[in-house]
Structure 1
Amino acid sequence: MEKWFPFLKEEETQIFSPRVEAVLAKIKDIRKPWPGEKVVVVSEFVLFLDIIKEAIERRSKTDPNLGIRLAEYNGTVNLEERSRVQYAFNQPTGGPEVLLLTAGAGGVIGRAHRLPQEKKVHIWHMRAHPSEIDLFVLNRQAQKVHFVRQLLHAATGEADIKASD
């Protein structure tokens, strides 16, 4: 169990950011015209998918359109469970309706289009304006790049190291 689970489960934990609300709205928008369709939500971050899971569970108490079965497929799920999840999700009826998938768990777009796929696959790339956490991550990346450049400059004596070097 990840250390953030108890924190996410606390009712006072604010998880409904604009990004989370946008994902929930998109799931509802997809399921409205295609009620039997399955939805895959992909993120690089397991934590974000855990937040989405908790948000769906909380919101489903008041919104019947989000009373859906979920499954997770990521690096924290053992191989046996991954096989069960994949099998259940691929069943035409029953099983999970929404799959929460980390990008690192497999070739995401390729898996969606792979034969014997009989249904049309719809892919939405959701981009958000930088949130506080995005700005923090970008700032940390910039600091690390600056640090690495200083190290390389000290080691090589070159004045500037390009990102492609």
Structure 2
Amino acid sequence: MLYPATHLVVMGVAGSGKSTIAAALSQQLGWACAEADEFHPQTNIDKMSQGVPLQDEDRWPWLLQIQNWMTGQAAAGHSTVLTCSALKRSYRQLLSAAEGRVLFIHLDGEAGLIGQRMQGREGHFMPPTLLPSQLATLEPLSPEELAAGSLRLDISQAPEELVEATIAALKLPAVPATGVS
């Protein structure tokens, strides 16, 4: 089945590698890329910066803005790669209502590894102290989501392997590399 636009939502808890994988997928596929963090209102950023977990009422307007962005991109004929925690099925359902085909790439791994990665990050407003609340909120992809084409990937693999696995599993057309030899 052909879709006018496909949206790959690279999801998972903070520190799982969403930005790294999304950027590499965007480059390989030649698709527009966006960070869901860019859609947060300042009030959400302030809460997270202070170590306060977001509640659903904080997330719904943010998720709707992301859905609207994906629909706008699809209307223009563009496929996208987007980072978004998308921790709950209800959040993924809202995002799935965007125009085009929406697939989730869940970057999953051990809490210890994710915590180590978060400790090494600089310049991000999400403190490592919020990792337990994110892990508690996370609802893994359902069998229905997996059957519809979404993927769960183990972050203990190298980023290049995760990107290759995604492109191969979803049978996506990678853009030929152009460069100076």
TM range (shorter): 0.3 to 0.5
**Normalised by the size of structure 1, how large is the TM-score?**
0.37
**Normalised by the size of structure 2, how large is the TM-score?**
0.35
